[in-house]
Amino acid sequence: MINNELVTSPILKVQGLTIYNGSYLAVREVSFELTPGTNTAVIGPNGAGKSTLVKAILDLIPRNAGTVEILGRPISRLGNLRQQLGYMPQNFIFDRSFPLNVSELVGLGWVKANKNFGIRHLLQSDREKSQAVNEALHRTDTSRLRHQALGTLSGGQLKRVLLAYCLVMPRRLLVLDEAFAGVDVQGMADFYNLLNELKEEEGWTVLQVSHDIDMVSRHCDRVLCLNQTLVCEGLPEIALSPQNLLATYGPGFSRYQHRH
């Protein structure tokens, strides 16, 4: 029998989140929840606190006030449940001369989540890892890149490989911080389509920071408009109204729409 409370419980619950960067108030008393299986975008002008918000949610930077619960637990007490979170940063910084290929990077995602295997399970776990990596590469259309060095990948290719890294183990929540930066318009559209396909198949809940209002309106279920504080939230057709965009971005904001 399905427990309806578990089905409807929020994946993420943020209450009264306040964050200072030094003496600067970056995020003020932000509260919201994410329901399972949704794709939610955080939008707002430069300096609005979007990246600060997601980093605090993931416990990558300290919070000055407020609480964050993921999967029903405080973020500081997630324990092994932390493996059910996937994170794609805005800038994946690495030494491009480092001799690591695509398959090896994706495999690290599996090893990290299965680090407690004993020696007697080594051969079995190696087979399982290989199968999981192959499947993740296939589903992100990066199989042909498996032996390619990371430093030779284009921006769009690297984003897909990082998505494969997140896909190699089961996840409940996927957080993307400007994950489409450096990707052209067609590559961005393809990535959004792939992300939503995988969201449906895997049952992911997605929280993403984005600057692209047009893509958000096309592909996201819900929008959070942030400018230090939460200006508004709701369905795209509500949150992205001219009045709400004006309140979020201020005078002079111009909404650009891509032409395909």
List domains and CATH numbers for the chain.
4-249 (3.40.50.300)
* Residue 145 burial class via C-beta count within 10 angstroms: exposed 0-12, middle 13-18, buried 19 and up: buried
Percent of the chain with pLDDT over 90: 59
| pTM for this model (two decimals) | 0.86
CA atoms within 13 A on the CB side of 137: 21
The pLDDT mean for the chain works out to 87
For 155, other C-beta atoms within 10 Å of its C-beta total: 13
pLDDT at 120: 46
Whether pLDDT at 42 is above 70: yes
pLDDT value of position 54: 95
C-alpha–C-alpha distance, residues 42 and 19, integer Å? 16
Tokens 């943020």 found at: 14
Supply the pLDDT for residue 6. 46
Phi, psi angle pair for 179, to nearest 5°: -65, -15
Alpha-carbon gap, residue 257 to 216, rounded angstroms: 11
Q: Which pLDDT belongs to residue 3? A: 46
The two three-digit tokens of residue 52, written as one number = 């600060």
Dihedral pair phi/psi, residue 225, rounded to 5°:
-95, 115
129-171 per-position pLDDT tens digit: 899 999 999 999 999 999 999 999 988 888 889 999 999 888 9
Which pLDDT score is estimated for 192?
86
The answer to whether residue 260 scores a pLDDT higher than 60 is no
Express each pLDDT in 196-254 by its tens digit. 888 998 899 999 999 889 989 999 999 999 999 999 999 999 999 999 999 999 987 76
Locate 134 and state its tokens: 């192959």
